[in-house]
Amino acid sequence: MKKHNFSAGPCILPKEVMKRASEAVLDFDGLGLSLIEISHRSKEFVAVMEEARALSLELLGLEDQGYQALFLQGGASLEFLMVAYNLLDKRAGYVNTGTWSSKAIKEAKLLGEVVEVASSKDKNFNYIPKGYGIPENLDYLHLTSNNTIFGTQIKEFPTTSVPLVCDMSSDIFSRQLDFSKFDLIYAGAQKNMGPAGTTLVVVKEDILGKVSRTIPSMLDYKVHISKDSMFNTPSVFAVYTSMLTLRWLKDLGGISAIEEINEKKAKLLYSEIDLNPLFNGFAKAEDRSNMNATFTLAEEGLKETFDSMWREAGINGLNGHRSVGGYRASMYNALSLESVGVLVDVMSELERKA
Ligand code: PMP
């Protein structure tokens, strides 16, 4: 039986995508060859890369607006450095909303001055800072739209004339935003897109080429753009599987359709967290993430019972990150409302039993 997979990433992907991807490993579209044994320069794989890039821009509503989509390697973690290499000339602003923002700040500091314009570290990152001032003289402002570990999500993005860079690793393609507000978006594939191994970077071309440093080729967005995201051998399986997930999302009705389902799932779980006296939500209610719900047990003594109950119900991946403790239910695009229902039933069953 397939488990209800609440893992934070790598995580659940649509069943039909998994089936098609696994078939392609044996025989790619009837070629008599595997997807992972053909040349990345073959016309068949070039078509995959082009479709993945085009679908990314189409789903985000960013076609014909000067943006380029790239499928790179090195994870979102390498983007922490690449963003700074390509955009940080003198001074950049960062909003520190958790572990991943802190890591992005650390890398940027290698290359220039970093102004931490706001932080929620004072409360172990359980909220999103708001109403902070943004200096005008920044090369860019870096945000993390969804904080995977702490379960907070930016609901309203700041309005500023400074170029906006956003790490959307854990909520890309999950909700409708005006993506044209952002000059650079990046996201590791392993949440809402595909297996680990590739990172989507969507960049507005006209913000590039403004720094004075020499950029090593592999770290230079302009080089990757000039080679149509094929400067070196791409992660073919991860790109193909991401392309299949993007097709799946388009067939479903795009981001606005999945957003509706994601809202239902989050509402169902957060209502249970709020109504059931045995559970406490970790994140401040107004900043709660629709992707990662973090919560703790009111009585630690119930841990063993609760853990065996959810495991018996076929639930996987519910343990919280060590920096928060408790539980984290990740409800990415491919997780069904039914799976959230199973978790909520276990939580209310615990209340009946306790
Ligand atoms: N940013 C966010 C918001 C993340 O959730 C993660 C990984 N979970 C990362 C960055 C780092 O991604 P990677 O492991 O692909 O480097």
- pLDDT average, residue stretch 46-67: 98
Residue 333 to residue 246: CA distance in whole angstroms:
11
For ligand 1, the distance from its centroid to the CA atom of residue 169, given in whole angstroms, is 6
| CA–CA distance, 270 with 279 (Å, rounded to integer) | 10
Whether 310 sits among the annotated catalytic residues: the reply is no
Residue ID of nearest Cα to ligand 1 atom 5:
148
Q: List, in sequence order, every residue forming a beta bridge with 165; answer none if it has no partner.
A: 142, 184
The alpha carbon of 188 and the centre of ligand 1 are apart by a number of angstroms equal to 6
Give the residue whose CA is nearest to atom 4 of ligand 1: 169
Q: Could you give the 3-state DSSP secondary structure of residue 258?
A: helix
* pLDDT of amino acid 235: 98
Residues 6+ apart with CB under 8 A from 117: 93, 94, 95, 132, 133, 134, 135, 141
Q: What is the pLDDT of residues 161-192, one digit of tens each?
A: 999 999 999 999 999 999 999 999 999 999 99
Q: Are 59 and 192 in contact (CB under 8 A)?
A: no
Give residues with Cβ within 8 angstroms of 97, minimum separation 6.
119, 120, 125, 128, 129, 143, 144, 147, 150, 152, 154
The pLDDT-based confidence of 354 (bands split at 50, 70, 90) is: confident
Q: Is 86 annotated as a binding residue?
A: no
- What share of the chain in percent tops pLDDT 90? 99
pLDDT at 1: 82
Q: Using CA atoms, how far apart are residues 55 and 65, in angstroms rounded to an integer?
A: 14
Q: From the CB of residue 321, how many other CB atoms can be counted at a distance below 10 Å?
A: 17
Structure tokens at 174: 């999950």
Each residue's pLDDT tens digit, 228-281 = 999 999 999 999 999 999 999 999 999 999 999 999 999 999 999 999 999 999
User: What is the reported pLDDT for 67?
Assistant: 98
The DSSP line for 78-96 is: HHHHHHHHHH-SSEEEEEE
Q: Residue 190 has what pLDDT?
A: 98
Q: Roughly how many angstroms between the first and final C-alpha of the chain, as a whole number? A: 29
| Closest-lying ligand 1 atom to the alpha carbon of residue 188 | 15
Query: Residue range 98-127: average pLDDT?
Result: 98
E strand segments, the chain: 4-5, 67-72, 91-96, 113-119, 141-144, 146-147, 152-153, 164-167, 184-188, 199-204, 279-281, 292-297, 315-316, 327-330
Residue-wise pLDDT for 282-332, tens only, equals 999 999 999 999 999 999 999 999 999 999 999 999 999 999 999 999 999
Q: Give the mutation target among 80, 81, 99, 100 for probing the ligand 1 site: most ligand atoms within 8 A of CB.
A: 100
Mutate to test the pocket of ligand 1, among 148, 149, 171 (most ligand atoms within 8 A of CB): 148
CA 72 / ligand 1 centre spacing (Å): 14
Contact criterion met (CB below 8 Å) for 170 and 177: no
Q: Which of 139, 171, 183, 191 is catalytic?
A: 191
Does residue 167 carry a catalytic annotation? yes
Q: Which atom of ligand 1 is nearest to the CA of 77?
A: 16
pLDDT > 70 in the chain, percent = 100
Predicted pLDDT at 161: 96
Establish whether 333 is an annotated binding residue. no
Q: What are phi and psi of 281, to 5 degrees?
A: -75, 145
Protein residues whose CB sits closer than 6 Å to any atom of ligand 1: 9, 75-77, 100, 144, 148, 167, 169-170, 188
Question: Average per-residue pLDDT in the chain?
Answer: 98
Give residue for tokens 């957003």. 259
Tens-place pLDDT, residues 82-108: 999 999 999 999 999 999 999 999 999
Q: What is the per-residue pLDDT for 323?
A: 93
* Structural domains in the chain, sorted by start: 15-252 (3.40.640.10), 254-353 (3.90.1150.10)
